[in-house]
Amino acid sequence: MRRRTTLGGHTYEFASLSDLLAKATPARSGDVLAGVAAESQAQRVAAQVVLADVPLATFLDEQVVGYDEDDVTRLVLDTHDAAAFAPVASLTVGEFREWLLARAAERDEAAISALARGLTPEMVAAVSKLMRNADLVAVARRTRVVTGLRSTLGLPGRLASRLQPNHPTDDPVGVTASILDGLLHGSGDAVIGINPATDSPAQTVALLELVDAVISRYEIPTQSCVLAHVTTTLRALEQGAPVDLVFQSVAGTQAGNRGFGVTLDLLAEARTAALELGRGTVGRNVTYFETGQGSALSADAHHGVDGPVDQQTLECRAYGVARHFDPLLVNTVVGFIGPEYLYDGKQVIRAGLEDHFCGKLLGLPMGVDVCYTNHTDVDGDDTDTLTLLLGAAGCSFVIAVPGSDDVMLHYQSLSFQDVLTARSVLDLRPAPEFEAWLARMDLLDDAGRVRELAADAPAARALLAAAR
């Protein structure tokens, strides 16, 4: 098929489907670094014009990353659900955008949410490239993905948070202090999730036991996770450690996952092992994945059948991996990877909304680590903007650390106060089981808000007793 159009007197032609997808992508530094970005604004729009006329079904016939070479492509195509795809099977990418916006306006959550297994990552990436930020919010808001283990996530009107109590040396006292601070601010309903300072099995087991003890002592309806490599978690499982969630970073190509030291079989094995523990009370989702635009490029694992693939399409392919393992949580770490992939606040905000929309449309319980490093041109105003947009978009969860400052990973995420602000401004509440627990612990006021406590308040004393 010829992929060309004339715009403003110039004719633009695109060499391949992956070239078209890359050129149609809103500007970001990673695509420039990979040498696939549009060379002018007009060329970008021309690509979007051509992409709008591509039938969705094309993505089932024509591959961006080869079927024979790549197990992510095989996984996606071999599990494609033709019946779920049927309602939109005859549409072009541009018509699909309009179909989604119409269903969103009608608040027809069922119609949108039922598509998930009929869509491929490339279809979702393609339609996102034609959408404005508000389109991404409007459709994601009407896409429902509900998961559970010991709390229920993704319900309408809720915004959960991962409490991330990292410490540079995994010191148990320091970790505990950050956990208590987060709980006192109403954070932790998605997970209490620690990035360990080292990837040793012994350390992982020690941290798992520490968080499990806090959760058990106060009967908190949430789950723990130590974000070690999946092979480390498997070792911890063999030792009988209290593993709620199997974590792994995943990428959108087989080569990218090899770079992370994982295979699809390994992920399946770990999920099965965690399921066998039966630690859930309200659900059976036992995996947690993190992703982020640029991860494949940074591992030189971004090549497809017709050359390099743009980072946002590859990110969607990572979701194609994640959804196969019925995750409780998936989040993009949107500002972490650096300015060579997402340069500034505008690019980070755009990418955060794209990732959230695409993940959700593919059926994932999508969260976002709204974050930045100091060499990126992003600040608290940008993270406020993205957080409030994500709250409006029905984001499953965000990540929060004490005072926005992760003292182990040396980057800035949201603070517990930021989560309170987003909930308050947008009238969102914590996960229902966790909200009931907060009420039992006398941490909510009469209006249901997380109250600000004096240290000698009984609720504070009760929680701080864990520190003795």
Partner 1 sequence: MTPLPPEDGHLRAPLDPGDGHLRGGDDPWALLRNATRARVALGRAGDGLPTARELEFRAAHAAARDAVHTALDADLVRAALTAAGVGLEVLEVHSQAPDRTTYLQRPDLGRRLAEGTELPAGSHDLALVLADGLSPRAVHEHAAGTVAALLERLPGWSVAPIVLAHQARVALGDPVGEALGAGIAVVLVGERPGLSSADSLGLYLTSGPRPGRADSERNCISNVRPPHGLGYAQAADTLVALLQASRRLGASGVVLKDEGTALPPA
If the CB atoms of residues 177 and 275 are measured against partner 1, the closer one turns out to be 177
Residue 209 binds partner 1, judged by CB under 8 A: no
Chain residues 114-173 in contact with partner 1, contact rule CB under 8 A = 165-169, 171-173
Q: Helix 133-141 to helix 93-105 angle, to the nearest 10 degrees?
A: 60
If the CB atoms of residues 86 and 407 are measured against partner 1, the closer one turns out to be 407
Residue 375 binds partner 1, judged by CB under 8 A: yes
Of 73, 151, 176, 383, the one binding partner 1 by CB under 8 A? 176
Query: Shortest approach of partner 1 to residue 334 CB, angstroms?
Result: 17
Residue 113 binds partner 1, judged by CB under 8 A: no
Number of neighbours of residue 28 by Cβ within 10 angstroms: 24
Query: Shortest approach of partner 1 to residue 374 CB, angstroms?
Result: 4
If the CB atoms of residues 361 and 401 are measured against partner 1, the closer one turns out to be 401
Q: Per 3-state DSSP, what percentage of the chain is helix, strand, and coil (rounded to 5)?
A: 50, 15, 40
Can you name the residues that pair with 191 across neighbouring β-strands? 162
Rounded CA-CA distance 362/414 in Å is 26
Query: Shortest approach of partner 1 to residue 440 CB, angstroms?
Result: 21
| Span near partner 1 by CB under 8 A; candidates 121-129, 187-195, 385-393, 455-463 | 455-463
How do 191-194 and 224-226 pair as beta strands?
Answer: parallel
Residue 404 binds partner 1, judged by CB under 8 A: yes
Cβ(365)–Cβ(147) below 8 Å: yes
Of 13, 238, 405, 445, the one binding partner 1 by CB under 8 A? 405
Residue 379 binds partner 1, judged by CB under 8 A: yes
Q: Does 248 appear as a known binding residue?
A: yes
User: Looking up tokens 């279809």, which residue turns up?
Assistant: 123
Rounded CA-CA distance 256/297 in Å is 8
Q: What are the φ/ψ torsions at residue 312 (nearest 5 degrees)?
A: -75, -35
Of 204, 31, 199, 271, nearest to 129 (Cα)? 31
Can you name the residues that pair with 411 across neighbouring β-strands? 406
Sorted by sequence, the CB contacts under 8 Å of residue 317 that are 6+ apart come out as 65, 72, 73, 76, 121, 122, 252, 253
Of 327, 339, 352, 359, the one binding partner 1 by CB under 8 A? 339
Chain residues 219-258 in contact with partner 1, contact rule CB under 8 A = none
Residue 374 binds partner 1, judged by CB under 8 A: yes
How buried is residue 328: exposed, middle or buried, by Cβ count under 10 Å (0-12/13-18/19+)?
Answer: buried
Residue 467 binds partner 1, judged by CB under 8 A: yes
Alpha-carbon radius of gyration of the chain: 22
Rounded CA-CA distance 208/245 in Å is 10
Binding residues for partner 1, rule: CB under 8 A, are 29, 32-33, 165-169, 171-178, 180-181, 197-198, 339-340, 343, 373-376, 379-380, 401-405, 407, 410-412, 415, 417, 420-421, 423-424, 449, 452, 454-456, 460-461, 464, 467-468
Binding residues for substrate: 162-164, 195, 290, 369
| Binding-site residue set for adenosylcob(III)alamin | 196, 248, 298, 408
Q: Which residues are annotated as a binding site?
A: 162-164, 195-196, 248, 290, 298, 369, 408
